[in-house]
Amino acid sequence: MPGDEHPGVSAKRDAEESQLAKQNPAEKRQRCAAADGRIYFSYAQIHGAMSSLASKILEWKPDVMVAIGGGGFIPARMLRTEIKVPILAVSLELYDDATKTARTQVVKKQWFDETSGVGQLVRGRRVLVVDEVDDSRATLEYCVRELQETNAPSAIAVAVVHNKMKPKKGTLPAGIEYFAGEDVPDKWNCYPWDAAAYGHDIFEHEKLARQCEAIPKDGA
């Protein structure tokens, strides 16, 4: 019976759970939504999430990053300080900024030229795709398949700041390595580079991000 558990056993279990929480920030901390129902993230939180992936990504040994614009640009630049490989930019749109709704399919706005400069580092090489959030997975699937069909890299991995814990519409092809800085609830995420889109300046945004950061489960 639970009430008959030896105090030493209980203390050991609590210590093990606390250690696991420290190893897994997603288990240790859960954020709360702001008054508008959205969750705001600061630059520091995003930087920390991406930096936490650096050692695993370095083991994967990418030759080049492909950042999906606009949300993947800043996370990719944060990674580059530690990963030290060039960045290519592509622009894909699933959400229509004018209507604030999701399109029925991803629109390719911009792709790179593989015949010049950094673009030559893709064919037959190891490519890391970077984006800010894995929401429906439709954009990531489109980007990965477009790379495979158009540019034929030898290997592809995906790195995102946040993976939303929800059923996905898109599917990544077999053999794609996947890195996520943090698993997050299926809420509306607000990133600092989009502060003005939500009617805030960057200082207001960062204040909201601090308010959304809940107290850790262990009370630390």
Catalytic residue among 135, 186, 194, 218: 135
Annotated catalytic, 218? no
Please list, in sequence order, all residues whose beta carbon lies within 8 angstroms of the beta carbon of residue 210, skipping any fewer than 6 positions away: 42
| CB-neighbour burial class of residue 14 (10 A; exposed 0-12, middle 13-18, buried 19+) | exposed
In whole angstroms, give the CA distance from residue 55 to residue 219: 28
Nearest partner of 65 among 121, 115, 107, 117, judged by Cα: 121
β 87-96/101-110 pair status? antiparallel
To which H or E segment does residue 163 belong?
A: strand 155-164
Helices 43-51 & 73-83 angle (0-180, nearest 10): 50
DSSP label at residue 35:
T
- Active-site positions read 135
